[in-house]
Amino acid sequence: MKTSMESVEAIKELARVVTTTIEGIDPSFFDRNQYGDAATFRQTVVLCLMDANDVVPVDFDRLLESGDANIMHDVMGIMNNWNIYKKEMENCFHPRCAVTQ
C-alpha cells in the first residue's frame, strides 16, 4: 500500500506525539538511545512507519484518535519489530490499528 500525503502528515504527527510522550516519561532517553536526539528519532519514526505501511497497512488517522497508549504500542512495536532488510514484521507483532483486509 502506497503511503498517501495525508498519511505522511498523520505519520509526522504520530512521530511528534511519541517523541513528546517519551520526553515526558524519561527526559534522558535521547541521551542514551540508538537513535540520537529527538529530531533524529522523529525522522526514524517517520521512515520506519512509511516503510512498514507498504506491508502492514495502518489506519494512521484512527491511530491518532486512539490515545497515547495505543499510539505508543503501535509505533514502538513497529519500530522494534520491523525488519528493514527482510521487509517484514517479526515476533508476531500486529499493530492494533492495522487495516483489516
Q: Indicate whether 83 belongs to any domain.
A: yes
Residue 97 lies in a domain: no
Residue 94 lies in a domain: no
Residue 101 clears pLDDT 70, i.e. is over it? no
Residue 48, domain member (yes or no): yes
Q: What average pLDDT does range 11-21 have in this prediction?
A: 91
Secondary structure (H, E, C), 9-69: HHHHHHHHHHHHHHHHHCCCHHHCCCCCCHHHHHHHHHHHHHHHHCCCCECHHHHHHCCHH
In single-letter form, the type of residue at position 82 comes to: W
53 found inside a domain: yes
Q: Which amino acid is at 65?
A: E
The pLDDT of residue 51 is 92
The grid cell for 45 is: 519514526
Does residue 94 surpass a pLDDT of 80? yes
For the chain, the domain total comes to 1
Residue 73 lies in a domain: yes
- Using one digit for the tens of pLDDT, what is the confidence trace for 36-86? 788 888 898 999 999 999 899 999 999 999 988 999 999 999 999 999 999
* 101 within some domain: no
Domain range for 78: 5-89
Q: Identify which of 42, 35, 37, 41 has the alpha carbon closest to the alpha carbon of residue 16.
A: 42
Confidence of residue 14 (pLDDT cuts 50, 70, 90): very high
Predicted confidence (pLDDT) at residue 5 exceeds the cutoff of 90: no
Measured distance CA(66)–CA(92) in Å, rounded: 22
> Is 99 among the domain residues?
no
Q: What is the mean pLDDT of residues 4-11?
A: 83
